[in-house]
Homo-oligomer: A and B are copies of this chain.
Amino acid sequence: MTRRPEAAPRAPLSRDRVLRAAVELADGIGIEALSMRRLAQELGVVPMALYKHVANKEQLLDGMVETVVGGIGLPASGPDWRGAVRHRILSARAALLGHPWAAQVIRSRSGPTPAILAHLDSVIGLFRAGGFSVDLTHHVMHALGGRVLGFTQEVFDAAPDPDPAARPAMPPEAAAAYPHVAELAGAAAHDGDSVVGGGCDDQFEFEFALDLLLDGFERLRLQGWTSGARRAGGGLIA
């Protein structure tokens, strides 16, 4: 019927189309299986055609990050620094949900993309407007770490199988060797949970830690904390 026997999409390639296809492909097959060659195949083009739109694979990854982080909504501002920061961080988390490779890729890059800088700038701005000193804001941003972009901070990146029945039970000899882990796993099991990172309520765990930190920040702010108050080996509060 047509002179083009290929069924491949015919839309002309563009940087944006390449990046959106890369994000979709990484979501589908995982970041470790994403290659320039595989991506080109998906787009129905020869591998070298991609190099017209991204200089190399590093730039492709940066562009993918930019695409995802750019999806974070604009900041809510207001007199309540705690609510505003909390909302902005949970927005970042929502934007990165469904792209489990994003945290790993961002951490592996050496520097921030413009969209990341814009996000960090807005969060820092919320702290400053809320009465935090430059000094305290600095340490507070470090304390949030990757959490400011919504990263979960589990020991293992990979989420276990969401079906509890598909997860192997802890064998008796392991339960004997690691009794405290077994106790936690056992108690969590009839909640549909597992050890650390298991089928737990990720959103609850994220907010639990976030709220602990935000409450701690507020206390330090009220105390007028400065880094001159460092005490070796002790707690931050007396």
The interface of chain A, by Cβ under 8 A from chain B, is 82, 104, 106-112, 114, 116-118, 120-122, 124-125, 128, 134-135, 137-139, 141-143, 145-149, 151-158, 174, 177-181, 183-184, 187-188, 193, 195-197, 200, 204-205, 208-209, 211-217, 227, 230, 234-237
Contact = CB atoms under 8 A, between A and B. Distances in A.
Given A209-B142, A235-B214, A134 B178 contact: no
A145 B141 contact: no
Given A108-B157, A146-B154, A155-B145, A128 B187 contact: no
B215 A213 contact: no
A152 to B, nearest CB: 7
A186 to B, nearest CB: 9
Contacts of A156: 106-107, 109-112
Contacts of A197: 142
Given A120-B178, A146-B155, 6 more contacts: A107-B157, A118-B178, A124-B181, A124-B183, A139-B208, A145-B152
B180 A121 contact: yes
Nearest to A114: B177
B158 A154 contact: no
Contacts of A177: 114, 117-118, 121
B211 A212 contact: no
Interface centre among A109, A145, A183, A204 (most CB of B within 10 A): A145
Contact of A155 (B106, B179, B235): B106
Contacts of A209: 142-143, 145, 213
A179 to B, nearest CB: 7
A215 B196 contact: no
Contacts of A179: 121, 125
A158 B147 CA distance: 17
Given A216-B216, A236-B215, A142 B154 contact: yes
9 contacts: A112-B195, A118-B178, A120-B195, A121-B180, A125-B180, A128-B183, A142-B208, A143-B208, A204-B227
